[in-house]
């Protein structure tokens, strides 16, 4: 590994090419010339059509659905660049799949997030650039530098422009585990904080038990790091209105995974609006007038430029 490549080259897998193109536009470079696909038997392949010798290579790939295909694509691309003598390889993962499998919850469970970290490192990545890891300790699973960007500044700007200094708006954490994230977000906006206390009965389902804080007649911002099936989010929004007496509920989350019935649940829910970052691309065949996306291209572009120039990335974490 060298400390600094001779130039920036950005390549993309198939998972989130529009974001990769937007990042390239912000940085002022062309998207790297590569072909990524699959053979008839399902094996992934990669062909790189330009030299990368000595370059600072950034591989943009969200490991969202289909998770295993996208992960394998990224590993093969990293291996290809390593064998082509790239100066330094950064895995740019706006959404890090397997992040929820970060610990053993019962005997004989795997820690799949650690396994994925090992695979990325062994494939040849020199560092990782990601956003809003589900669990911050995943950074420690890697033996290479990890920059975990925060999506909250993008939401902070959006809601500051939308609500300004109005005193009937407050931030709500959808569960106890997200309190630290929601508290920091509320402090940036200068708003009070409430918490939805829930008990999860099984995977992808939850039962709302209580609301800690007074949300009556308030316009609520419900903050989470990701929305998968949407059950927890929509259940929390319903409780805030029906039990807490909230005037309205707007949700925001960094990663809109939106699997299964999520989109329909959001459409049928009491939510006024649900805002995601484009770390996971919008589903092209699914439309919902309550869902809105904000771009992370500028933030990732600035991080890439700072990594290349060997200057601090920490200003992007505040």
Active site residues: 198
Phi, psi angles (nearest 5°) of residue 284: -65, -25
Helix, strand, or coil (residue 180): helix
Helix, strand, or coil (residue 233): helix
Helix, strand, or coil (residue 217): coil
What are the residue ranges of helices labelled H in the chain? 17-27, 67-83, 112-123, 152-163, 179-189, 231-242, 262-268, 297-309
Q: 151, 152, 136: which is closest to 187 by C-alpha?
A: 152
Residues whose CB falls within 8 Å of the CB of residue 315, separated by 6 or more in sequence, listed in order: none
Do the Cβ atoms of 150 and 131 come closer than 8 Å? Answer: yes
Q: In the block, which residue shows the tokens 């590569």?
A: 34
Do the Cβ atoms of 174 and 222 come closer than 8 Å? Answer: yes
Residues whose CB falls within 8 Å of the CB of residue 152, separated by 6 or more in sequence, listed in order: 181, 184, 185, 188, 223
Q: 254, 188, 184, 196: which is closest to 220 by C-alpha?
A: 196
134/228 Cα distance (integer angstroms) = 12
Beta strands in 143-289 (DSSP E): 146-149, 169-173, 193-202, 205-212, 219-227, 248-256, 273-277
Burial of 54 (0-12, 13-18, 19+ CB in 10 A): middle
């Amino acid at each position: 590994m060298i400390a600094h490549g001779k130039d920036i080259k950005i390549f993309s897998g198939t998972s989130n090419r529009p974001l990769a193109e937007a990042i390239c536009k912000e940085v002022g470079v062309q998207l790297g010339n590569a072909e990524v696909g699959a053979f008839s038997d399902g094996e992934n392949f990669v062909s790189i059509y330009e030299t990368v010798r000595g370059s600072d290579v950034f591989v943009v790939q969200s490991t969202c659905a289909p998770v295993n295909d996208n992960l394998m694509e990224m590993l093969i691309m990293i291996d290809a660049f390593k064998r082509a003598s790239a100066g330094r390889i950064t895995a740019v993962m706006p959404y890090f799949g397997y992040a929820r499998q970060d610990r053993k919850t019962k005997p004989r469970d795997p820690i799949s997030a650690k396994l994925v970290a090992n695979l990325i490192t062994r494939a040849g990545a020199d560092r990782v650039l990601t956003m809003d890891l589900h669990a911050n300790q995943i950074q420690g699973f890697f033996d290479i530098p990890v920059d975990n960007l925060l999506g909250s500044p993008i939401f902070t700007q959006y809601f500051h422009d939308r609500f300004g200094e109005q005193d009937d708006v407050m931030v709500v954490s959808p569960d106890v585990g997200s309190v630290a994230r929601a508290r920091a977000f509320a402090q940036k906006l200068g708003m009070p904080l409430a918490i939805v206390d829930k008990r999860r009965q099984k995977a992808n389902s939850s039962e709302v038990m209580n609301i800690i804080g007074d949300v009556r007649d308030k316009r609520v911002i419900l903050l989470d790091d990701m929305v998968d099936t949407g059950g927890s989010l929509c259940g929390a929004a319903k409780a805030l209105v029906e039990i807490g007496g909230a005037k309205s509920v707007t949700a925001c989350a960094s990663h809109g995974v939106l699997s299964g019935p999520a989109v329909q649940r959001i459409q049928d829910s009491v939510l006024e609006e649900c805002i995601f970052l484009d770390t996971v691309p919008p589903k092209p065949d699914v439309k919902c007038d309550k869902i809105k996306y904000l771009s992370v291209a500028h933030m990732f572009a600035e991080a890439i430029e700072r990594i290349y120039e060997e200057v601090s990335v920490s200003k992007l974490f505040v």
